[in-house]
Structure 1
Amino acid sequence: MLATTIGVGDTMRKLGLLLIAATMISATPAAAQTIDVRAGRLIDPASGQVLADRRIRIVAGRIAAVEPWRDGAPALDWSGYTVLPGLIDMHTHIADGADDEGSDPAAPFKSTEATTILKAVKAARTMLRAGFTTVRDAGVYRGLTDIDLRDAIEAGTIEGPRMLVAGGYITTPGGGGDVSGLARDMPIPDTFRVGVVRNPGEARDRARYLLDQGADFIKLIATGAVLAIGSEPGSLELSPEEMKAACDEATLRGKYCIAHAHGAEGIKAAIRAGARTIEHASYLDAEGIALAKAKGVWLDMDIYNGDWIEEFGTKQGWPAEYLRKNRETTDVQRRGFSAAVKAGARLTYGTDAAVYPYRFAGRQFAYMVRFGMTPLQAIRSATSEAAKALRLEGQVGTLAPGAYGDLVAVAGDPLADIKLLEKVAAVVKAGQVVR
């Protein structure tokens, strides 16, 4: 039954992508061309150096050289701007196709597959134009649609950031990654439950299935969620054995797993099971920080979200359960973030974009500085440090020769005013001008 349902879903996805190709302007693939960018100032996140008046030469979509500007006419004159590598968001939900003005958390269940795909196309374009040239899309409710979106962007069919995707969620029945809040007699399509598991054997099988379909990593829902009915953030949902089985399968395939984990015990259980990054980490404690440091695990904490949910969710009448859980986790998460920064833990830039509008993806930078980071640390979290966590060091998050020609420009100095990254002036992805 599962195979039959997924087959129909595959057909719908192909039809949706054909519709997209026929009705939307395609992104231009990187050609074998040379482009020279004149950067007034250049920030190298890894070294912390700020260099003046630099030529960035991009050949066939890759950076060929960064050197002092001497002469000639630049293809892009950014001499009035500060230039950084393209930004990386480690936790987005683009493929679920949230609305522009903030997410209705139940939107994926209220939309057809074609509608979701079309919304996702717009979301991807918005995210890219906000300066995020690479993203990790941290799971979808409608299984596998993120894989097709990633592939369409890579093929140049549509415009969007470079994507790494999960294909779905490994979750318990009724857990934070399952469909919840529906009537007991309402049937749930199998495409929404591609990762629902009941024991370690099923966790391994579902991880294997998602990787076979083209997932880049495995997403575990280790604990309950804020935006899910009947799921408490502090409660462990997947067992340690289920998480380890999924992570072992990912490792066997040369991949890794990440874990949605709010609760303190869930965070530690996920780290011990082999998770590479911990998402949210709301109830992070000192033992969890020490364990993350000892295991080389990154913490990916969405510390802006709480304010948006409180303001927008209250205004829009989101379920009282969502708002209650958000209030319980917001301040404690920020205290944990500050403690992690002070302790020297590895931290990356992950926003949960979709909960709030994609065009606001840069708002978290100011929160990271407010709660303990220097501006350079915040920039590194979305460039060089994120690249390490993605296993793409030297490919993204850097302006070193050989990396993708991904650039953003801002009018001013983000090391003095980090809020400048909330509204980038220009974007280049793989040598192609986006805006």
Structure 2
Amino acid sequence: MCVEATPPPSSRLTRRGILAGAAALAGTVAAAGPAVAGPANRGGTADAAGQAGGGTEGRGARGGNLVVQGGTLLDPATGEVIENAVVVIEAGTVRAAGRRDSVAVPQGVEVLDAHGRWVLPGLVDAHIHLSTAAEARDAVRKGATSARSGSTAFYQDIAVRELARHSPTLAPRLTAAGVFVTPDLGDTVLADPDLTPLARLKDGVRSAEALRRVVEVNLARGADVIKTRVNERAGLPEQDPLAQVYSHEQLSEIVAAARRRGKSVLCHSYSEQGCHDAVTAGIRSLEHGAFVGERTLREMRRRGTYFTPTLTAIAGLAESTDPVLAERGRTYLPALKRAVLAAHELGIPLAAGTDSSGGSVRPIGREVELMRAAGLPALDAIRTATTGAARLLGLERTAGRLARGFAGDVILVDGDPLADVTVLKQPVRVVRAGMPL
């Protein structure tokens, strides 16, 4: 059965209601106070691949003025290390950064003493599920000042994105994915009236019309990217993560529908065939990808496809009390580490993502630790959560560095991350848009 040939959903009539409902679900109304006047969907600048940016805070955001001084500054882009450094943030944006004797420090501005600590840009979590205000705050406190959603059930991520734009300390700068394009939407058909006709489809969301419908509703509701899958889930013992749920043709339909609106696609995947079908269909980033093979990796290099392995989530399976999941984690993690190292050696861009969900936000520093354990040099592992992930999100001029014109997002850590990346798991201080938490 196909979806009726109805026109694309009207964002003018329903977007405000959807955002209000998502805000209530996310718990943002109580946490953030009155909403800032302005359009609900302020999309960011798209990069060459159609990835939405969202790199600046909204018109109502009030970034802080702050001087971070005395620490050791690391620039992930160049690898340069500057001792006794100063970072000057004005209205939430870095105005100057460098050695203390080369930077003019404004008078009367709050000073954050970083002596004895290392200073880095806020980290980027390129795959996270934020469904509540509490989760959003927790992600920031653990060092993720920018993030990309891996989808939510009821558009909560779009509400979290708006929360971040007018109250930056409460949430990461977020690229929202809306709802998952998946064969069985379950209760997600209730996320928007325009999705409800899909509930009667005998075979689920599989026809070209149905696939386009979910993409269109997402984009009408303000999603920045589209999230889909090619394999079943690894975190459910009753599912087989190597079973394929969408064909190359179906994935191509999803990618084409997103591209028509200048958006890109991230794809949940595990099997080699699934990974290959997703990459050749034109996705922007491969998520998980435990058994991605050499032919697919070479295709990714040719196309510039990103790899977001979510090592943290796979490592978490090995700790499960469920024997099926624990065995799955023990089997998948070594394979995934080998794939990460092979990708790095081929020059495939890597992005760090924790795949946190369900009220448990894992520190993005843990993903950096696992990237290092997979064989990446420390600086390259750090780049997966800074410059690399920022580029994937279209934030390469906003996040990932502390340089003039970049966001005033800072973390302080106790120790040299180039010698021991595990210090990134527990930032001793986080600054979001020039405002210390």
> TM-score under structure 2 normalisation?
0.81
Question: Following TM superposition, by how much is the alpha carbon of 1:121 offset from its aligned partner in structure 2, in angstroms?
Answer: 1.2
Match of residue 31 from structure 1 = 62
Give unmatched runs, 5+ long, in structure 2.
36-56, 199-203
Alignment of 1:141-160 (within 5 A): 142-156=153-167, 159-160=170-171
**Partner secondary structure for residue 170 of structure 2:** coil
Secondary structure of the 2:408 match is coil
Q: Is the 8 A contact 1:30 1:432 kept in 2?
A: no
Aligned partner of 2:258 in structure 1 is 250
Q: 2:397, 2:15 → 1: CA distance?
A: 37
Determine which of 159, 163, 177 is the counterpart of 1:166.
177
2 CA distance for matches of 1:34 and 1:63? Answer: 9
1:170 maps to a residue whose letter is: V
Q: CA deviation at 1:355?
A: 6.7
| Cα contact 1:63–1:400 (8 A) shared by 2 | yes
Residues 33-69 of structure 1: CA deviation (Å, up to 9, x unaligned): 5322114211110111111222211111111111321
**Partner in structure 1 of residue 337 of structure 2:** 334
User: What residue number does 2:351 align with?
Assistant: 348
Assess, with a 3 A threshold, how the Cα gap between structure 1 residues 14 and 381 changes in structure 2: closer, same or farther.
Answer: closer
Give the match for residue 134 of structure 1.
Answer: 146
The answer to whether 1:379 aligns with 2:378 is no
Q: Partner residue of 1:183?
A: none
Amino acid at match of 1:36: V
Secondary structure of 1:347 counterpart: coil
Q: Which residue of 1 aligns with 2:189?
A: 190
Deviations 1:283-309 (A, max 9, x none): 111111111111101111122333322
The alpha-carbon distance between structure 1 residues 143 and 242, as it changes in their structure 2 partners (threshold 3 A), is farther
Letter in 2 for 1:40: G
- 8 Å CA contact 1:30–1:431 kept in 2: the answer is no
Q: Is 2:256 the partner of 1:228? A: no
- Rounded to whole Å, the distance in 1 between the matches of 2:19 and 2:30 is 18
Quick check: 2:279–2:299 contact (8 Å CA) kept in 1? yes
Contact in 2 for aligned 1:39/1:56 (Cα 8 Å):
no
- The answer to whether the 8 A contact 2:135-2:359 is kept is no
Name the SS for the 1:348 alignment partner: coil
CA contact (8 A) 2:161 2:175 kept: yes
Q: Among 90, 104, 125, which residue is 2:126 paired with?
A: 90
SS in 2 for 1:58: strand
Q: Partners in 1 of 2:244 and 2:274 — Cα distance?
A: 5
The answer on whether the counterparts of 1:296 and 1:346 sit within 8 Å (CA) in structure 2 is yes
Q: Which whole-Å deviations, capped at 9, do the CAs of 1:66-101 have from their partners, x for residues lacking one? A: 132138676111122111111001011121xxxxxx
Cα 1:275–1:286 shift into 2, 3 Å: same
State how 1:10-409 maps to structure 2 within 5 Å. 12-16=21-25, 20-22=28-30, 31=62, 34-70=65-101, 75-95=111-131, 120-140=132-152, 142-156=153-167, 159-173=170-184, 178-179=185-186, 188=187, 190-191=189-190, 194=195, 197-228=205-236, 230-311=238-319, 313-314=320-321, 318=322, 321-354=324-357, 357-409=360-412
Q: Residues 418 and 201 of structure 1: is their aligned pair in 2 closer, same or farther, counting only changes over 3 Å?
A: same
The Cα shift of 1:403 comes to 1.0
Q: Quick one: distance in 1 between partners of 2:94 and 2:31?
A: 32
The structural deviation recorded for 1:224 is 1.5
Change (3 A) 1:379 1:192: same
CA contact (8 A) 2:63 2:434 kept: no
Write the distance in 2 (CA, Å) between the matches of 1:355 and 1:162: 20
CA shift, 1:402, in A, is 1.0
Please state whether the residue corresponding to 1:37 is helix, strand or coil.
strand
**Equivalent residue letter for 2:368:** F
Q: In the TM superposition, what is the alpha-carbon distance from 1:6 to its structure 2 partner?
A: 10
CA drift at 1:7 = 9.7
Shift of 1:210: 0.3
Q: CA deviation at 1:373?
A: 0.5
* CA drift at 1:200: 2.1
Q: Which structure 1 residue ranges, 5 or more long, are not aligned?
A: 96-119, 180-187
Question: Deviation of residue 31 (structure 1)?
Answer: 3.4
SS in 2 for 1:148: helix
- 1:271 is aligned with what amino acid? V
Regions of 4+ moved over 3 Å: 1-17, 19-34, 70-74, 192-196, 228-231, 320-328
Report if the CA contact (8 A) 1:233-1:325 is conserved: no
Which amino acid letter does the alignment assign opposite residue 165 of structure 2? E
Paired residue total: 391
Task: Indicate the percent of aligned positions where both proteins have the same amino acid.
Answer: 28
CA distance in 1, matches of 2:146, 2:128: 10
Q: Is the 8 A contact 1:134 1:162 kept in 2?
A: yes
Q: Supply the distance in 1 between the matched residues of 2:248 and 2:163 (Cα, whole angstroms).
A: 36
- Give the RMSD, CA atoms, in angstroms: 3.0
